[in-house]
Structure 1
Amino acid sequence: MGKTDKGLTLRFITLAIGMFAIGTDSFVVAGILPSVAKDLDVDVPTSAELITAYALSYAILSPVVAAVAARVPRRLLLIIGLVVFIVGNIGTGLAPGFEAALGFRVVAALGGAMFTPTAAGVVVALAGPERRGTALSILFGGLSAATALGSPIGTAISGFTDWRGTMVFVAAVGLLAAVAISVALPSVPSPPAVTLKQRLSPVTDPRIALALLLVLVAYSGLFILYTYVSQIFAPATDGSGRALAWLLFAWGIAAVVGNMTAGRLTDKLGNRVVINTAGVIAVVVFATTPWTSPHLATAVVAVMLWGACGWAMLVPIQHRLAGVNPEVAQMSISLSSSANYVGVSLAPVIGRFFLDHGVDMRYLGMPSAAIVVAGLLIGEAGYLLIKRGMRRAQAGDGDAPADVRAVTAR
């Protein structure tokens, strides 16, 4: 690896530290829901609205912030985003009641909305097409590393202190990320100003729209179980917060491996193979949770397969979006982040719907698996549409999309 490659990799890792902070905040709340519910005097499904508030606010604010702050220097925007994120988490930890906590989750989401799409855009700009998959896997490796370390550490902290101590920990991680970026990341040129209408324009391309819908649907299914992970695997952990932290650690380690492996496999095999293989394995894991969740040994195997496959899907989907139309790749990836968070925000709502309509907590994995299957079918429809456009272009059809030859899907 040459000096240039090493320099780029260091920049990607620096941004991944920030993603680690954002990811820790996104995933740690699920592990502390019982503690939050008890302290704020609400039930667990209601406390799960903290996850929905954060994820939905992020999804809505992300494209808006990207358009409004288009002329702000990239490094400055990254640091400001982390400062807002820190304020939101400290406020959540000091909140006197549930409504105040919800409000500060929106503030934290604003910080995440400022940081994540900006970081993804910087990575795409710095990495050439031949390194795009690997570069994205490094960046989003920060998110998967948050599941491996940040979330279980935060869950364990709540066992020693309470959930408020966990939020202080998240804020401290955000501060560390802000310092690292201010020191290690050089100035990055701002992209040309793009209006909100232009930023949303990739959705009008059905190939991109189907990829975004794949993200939304698949990740709503993937995160239903994560929302209620403390309850679903309570028989295996005996309700112990420390045991749950170790289970989340196993989930996160597998997520890191799945994410990093997916980047290389996507560059080698193409995104379709990685998306479908990982998705089918996740479906099988979810459908069998009634039999794997009661025992610690089988629970560990299940959550590791789940973590690896869930995170292995993200990079190839980003890869597909970047390749469909390279001219709008940064905007497409930004929208995919919003779609991801819409899916995550819907997960607690969908999970509560099933629980309220007679589905036992033990069997919640079955409707979750069905939703992931629906996402895979949507993704397959998008792939077939891309292939049809490529065939038309190869046949000299003048009506084929002008950018179709740049498609990297295989």
Structure 2
Amino acid sequence: MLAFGAFAVGTDGFVVAGLLPAVATSLHVTVAAAGQLVTVFSASYAVLAPVLAALTASWPRRRVLVTALAVFAAGNAITALAPSYGLVLGSRAVAAAGAALFTATASATAALLAGERERGRAISFVMLGVTSSLVLGAPLGTLIGDLAGWRTAMWLVTALGLLAAPAIWLRLPGAAGRGDGDLRAFLAPLRDRRVVTLLGVTVVAFTGIYLPYTYVSEIFAPAWAGGSGLAVLLLVYGLSGTAGNLTAGHLADRHGPRRVVVTVMLALAAAFALIPLGRGTFGTAVVTIVVVGFLSFSVTTPQQHLVISLAGPGAGLVTSLYQSAVYLAVSLSGGVGALALEAWGAAGLPYLAAVLMLAAAATNATRAGRA
């Protein structure tokens, strides 16, 4: 049920990018202006996630999750109905508030209900909803947008959120909030240098991960050559990423999240460094994407597992900050990647990503403590 809710939220995050031309035409703005829908969503998500986690710390987890989905659905309904560009922008902030609160709470709740021995697999199953939205939800939403209009696609996302809410309310086992009104106690994990370091590592690592993904069309341009091959590469990336996410969750439970995440980061650095060798033909590009996608999504669960292990009672806040760190990294990857693309060309981006992954692995191994 939590994974289905994450699927709804993830679909919203991914589908808007494919609807931008239609949104721009409908609202009489440029595609660049329509692209600010993504910017507003990401920025609002990053800022609101820890704030909302703190405000709802004492609520029962079921109430938080259902409220988050209700806010999420309301934001998307407003987007679907909004007659003006300004109102659409505002509605994206509302949807982001619900999405941020749901994703962080769902991960923390899954970890709490599963217990320490099954924590990694529980988190990976929730994140399966996000990765499957990349594979299925976003393409389906984009297709519906092409056939019936972008507003219909937003109604689809709204319906997904509304479908998940009653199932969670009726079937999710009870889990009390971890807050007791003492905000200082709730914020205690941020006084732990290891937690703060891990959040910083998360920004560095996911900036490296999203650099090649954001500019995949440029990096693999020699292979897909403007045809439908790019869609195939993105599909392969999503499928291999889903497998990587599930595998990493199991390994984190068995061998410990720290060992797994450091090993994966080192392997991913090597894979990024080898991307220029696999971008020349479509066949080699597919193989490269399989490896990179598998390893990229293998970072998500053990890194989050490691943060939760260190956070203790403050896991709700820390998972929200973790999500903020990821969304900050998404924004940074676009800006940093644009500068690197201008300076070194598309072939230089994977090397920059490899350097970032090496830095993240080294910090995780030497300064982030043990969990």
Q: TM-score, normalised by structure 2?
A: 0.86
Out of 168, 171, 177, the position equivalent to 1:190 is: 177
Out of 232, 241, 247, the position equivalent to 1:261 is: 247
Residues 300-355 of structure 1: CA deviation (Å, up to 9, x unaligned): 22222222111111111122223335343343333222222221232222223334
Given the alignment of the two structures, is residue 180 of structure 1 paired with residue 140 of structure 2, yes or no?
A: no
Q: 1:42 is matched with which residue?
A: 30
Figure out how many residues of one structure are paired with residues of the other and give that number: 370
Q: 1:307 is matched with which residue?
A: 293
Residues 350-396 of structure 1: CA deviation (Å, up to 9, x unaligned): 223334x434345433323332333223222334xx2xxxxxxxxxx
Given the alignment of the two structures, is residue 70 of structure 1 paired with residue 57 of structure 2, yes or no?
A: yes
Compared CA separation, residues 290 and 168, structure 1 to 2 (3 A): farther
Cα distance in 2, alignment partners of residues 200 and 225 from structure 1: 34
Cα distance in 1, alignment partners of residues 276 and 37 from structure 2: 27
Cα distance in 2, alignment partners of residues 49 and 36 from structure 1: 11
Compared CA separation, residues 187 and 129, structure 1 to 2 (3 A): closer
Q: Tell me, yes or no, if the aligned pair for 2:61 and 2:176 is still in contact at 8 Å.
A: yes
Out of 325, 333, 339, the position equivalent to 1:347 is: 333
Cα distance in 2, alignment partners of residues 175 and 158 from structure 1: 19
The 3-state SS of whatever aligns with 2:111 is helix
Cα distance in 2, alignment partners of residues 295 and 94 from structure 1: 44
Cα distance in 2, alignment partners of residues 250 and 49 from structure 1: 28
Please, what is the CA RMSD of the aligned residues? 3.0
Cα distance in 1, alignment partners of residues 100 and 90 from structure 2: 15
1:226-241 matches, cutoff 5 A? 226-230=213-217, 232-233=219-220, 236-240=223-227
Given the alignment of the two structures, is residue 142 of structure 1 paired with residue 129 of structure 2, yes or no?
A: yes
Given the alignment of the two structures, is residue 382 of structure 1 paired with residue 347 of structure 2, yes or no?
A: no
Q: Tell me, yes or no, if the aligned pair for 1:147 and 1:255 is still in contact at 8 Å.
A: no
Compared CA separation, residues 117 and 354, structure 1 to 2 (3 A): same
| Unpaired runs of at least 5, structure 2 | none
Q: Percent identity?
A: 39
Q: 2:210 is matched with which residue?
A: 223
1:105-144 matches, cutoff 5 A? 105-144=92-131
Cα distance in 2, alignment partners of residues 169 and 97 from structure 1: 20
Out of 195, 202, 209, the position equivalent to 1:208 is: 195
The 3-state SS of whatever aligns with 1:351 is helix
Cα distance in 1, alignment partners of residues 321 and 46 from structure 2: 8
Letter in 1 for 2:366: A
The structural deviation recorded for 1:24 is 1.9
Cα distance in 2, alignment partners of residues 28 and 305 from structure 1: 24
The structural deviation recorded for 1:218 is 0.7
The structural deviation recorded for 1:261 is 0.7
Q: 1:248 is matched with which residue?
A: 234
Higher mean alpha-carbon deviation, 169-178 vs 25-34, is at 25-34
Q: Tell me, yes or no, if the aligned pair for 1:287 and 1:369 is still in contact at 8 Å.
A: yes
| Unpaired runs of at least 5, structure 1 | 1-13, 387-406
Q: Tell me, yes or no, if the aligned pair for 1:120 and 1:139 is still in contact at 8 Å.
A: yes
Q: Tell me, yes or no, if the aligned pair for 2:188 and 2:314 is still in contact at 8 Å.
A: no
Given the alignment of the two structures, is residue 365 of structure 1 paired with residue 353 of structure 2, yes or no?
A: no
Q: 1:152 is matched with which residue?
A: 139
Q: Tell me, yes or no, if the aligned pair for 2:179 and 2:186 is still in contact at 8 Å.
A: no
The 3-state SS of whatever aligns with 2:175 is coil
Cα distance in 1, alignment partners of residues 365 and 61 from structure 2: 35
The structural deviation recorded for 1:131 is 1.4
The 3-state SS of whatever aligns with 2:123 is helix
Higher mean alpha-carbon deviation, 151-160 vs 270-279, is at 151-160
Cα distance in 1, alignment partners of residues 346 and 23 from structure 2: 19
Higher mean alpha-carbon deviation, 308-317 vs 51-60, is at 51-60
Letter in 2 for 1:374: A
Cα distance in 2, alignment partners of residues 343 and 194 from structure 1: 31
Cα distance in 1, alignment partners of residues 78 and 338 from structure 2: 27
The 3-state SS of whatever aligns with 1:189 is coil
Cα distance in 2, alignment partners of residues 228 and 35 from structure 1: 22
Letter in 1 for 2:249: G
Compared CA separation, residues 277 and 160, structure 1 to 2 (3 A): farther
Compared CA separation, residues 138 and 153, structure 1 to 2 (3 A): same
Letter in 1 for 2:365: E
The 3-state SS of whatever aligns with 2:343 is coil
Out of 43, 51, 56, the position equivalent to 1:56 is: 43
Compared CA separation, residues 29 and 273, structure 1 to 2 (3 A): farther
Compared CA separation, residues 307 and 34, structure 1 to 2 (3 A): farther
Out of 66, 75, 78, the position equivalent to 1:88 is: 75
Residues 74-94 of structure 1: CA deviation (Å, up to 9, x unaligned): 222212211221232344455
The 3-state SS of whatever aligns with 1:313 is helix
Cα distance in 1, alignment partners of residues 301 and 177 from structure 2: 24
The 3-state SS of whatever aligns with 1:190 is coil
